[in-house]
């Protein structure tokens, strides 16, 4: 992504732009020191100018003016993983969730830390497009008052491994409440603890990250797709 915005330039920077552009278009190897000499300023001033224009450096700016292809920026492995998830998103995830959503009068969204923030966002969006009772809850004491045989407990978790989920699940089962775990990462071991799981991805994030440090971007993409499906109804 590039942001090309001449409106941000002051009069001196506009003068640099007007002086520099013809030379860049007619030269394949105009160095930054030569550009500074042409414009009657320092090399650091040229660097500040191109960054204010929205470019990483002078070399990238010169290539853009000459119409050359720009080198691709290196992205993190997590960004690559998210891009693959978005490109290969399976609509069956949405259909499966909505099928269970439709069969329950009440929806309790549960999570810890950043996952609870995702649950709160989901609560807000669902309330706009549904007349059901919907609430996001971050602790078992509050959740226990809401769990009955008309409720779907939806747990958001990147790994699904928190031992503290066991208590809320036991409470839910005792009250006849259905449970759906939405796990960001794939982990077949979870099948032993949950009868109903949506694995959003078939991958995992870096194992060096603690659960609260991991991204929740896939949750947000899933939530938006669910809301889009509800809006289409």
Please report, for the chain, the start and end positions of each structural domain, with discontinuous segments joined by +: 8-65, 77-232
Residue 150's pLDDT band (boundaries 50, 70, 90)?
Answer: very high
- The token duo for 95 is 């259909």
Q: Which helix (H) or strand (E) holds 101?
A: helix 92-102
CATH topology of domain 8-65: Arc Repressor Mutant, subunit A (1.10.10)
∠ CA 173-175-179, nearest 5°, is 40
Residue 74's pLDDT band (boundaries 50, 70, 90)?
Answer: low
For the segment 78-137, what is each residue's pLDDT rounded down to a tens digit? 888 899 899 999 999 999 999 999 999 999 999 999 999 999 999 999 999 999 999 999
- The token duo for 68 is 């050359």
Q: Which helix (H) or strand (E) holds 220?
A: helix 217-232
pTM of the model as a whole: 0.68
**Residue linked to tokens 């699940």:** 169
Alpha-carbon distance values, 212 to 83, 116, 157, 158, 162 (Å) = 21, 11, 10, 9, 11
Structurally, at CATH architecture level, domain 77-232 sits in 3-Layer(aba) Sandwich (3.40)
For residue 12, pLDDT beyond 80? yes
**Residue 21 burial (10 A CB sphere; 0-12, 13-18, 19+):** exposed
pLDDT for res 39? 93
For residue 76, pLDDT beyond 70? no
């Amino acid at each position: 992504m590039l942001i090309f915005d001449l409106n941000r330039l002051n009069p001196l920077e506009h003068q640099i732009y007007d002086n520099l552009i013809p030379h860049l278009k007619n030269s394949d190897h105009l160095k930054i020191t030569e550009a500074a000499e042409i414009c009657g300023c320092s090399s650091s001033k040229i660097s500040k100018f191109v960054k204010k224009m929205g470019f990483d450096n002078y070399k990238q700016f010169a290539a853009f003016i000459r119409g050359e292809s720009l080198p691709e920026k290196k992205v993190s492995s997590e960004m690559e993983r998210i891009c693959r998830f978005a490109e290969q998103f399976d609509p069956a995830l949405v259909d499966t969730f909505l099928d269970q959503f439709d069969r329950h009068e009440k929806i309790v969204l549960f999570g810890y830390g950043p996952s609870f923030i995702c649950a709160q966002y989901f609560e807000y969006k669902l309330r706009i497009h549904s007349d059901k009772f919907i609430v996001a809850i971050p602790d078992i004491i509050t959740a226990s008052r809401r769990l009955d045989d008309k409720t779907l407990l939806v747990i958001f978790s990147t790994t699904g491994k928190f031992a503290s989920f066991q208590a809320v699940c036991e409470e839910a089962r005792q009250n006849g409440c259905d449970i759906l775990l939405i796990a960001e990462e794939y982990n077949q071991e979870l099948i032993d603890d949950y009868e109903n799981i949506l694995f959003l991805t078939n991958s995992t994030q870096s194992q060096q990250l603690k659960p609260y440090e991991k991204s929740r971007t896939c949750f947000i993409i899933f939530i938006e797709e669910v809301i889009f499906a509800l809006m289409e109804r």
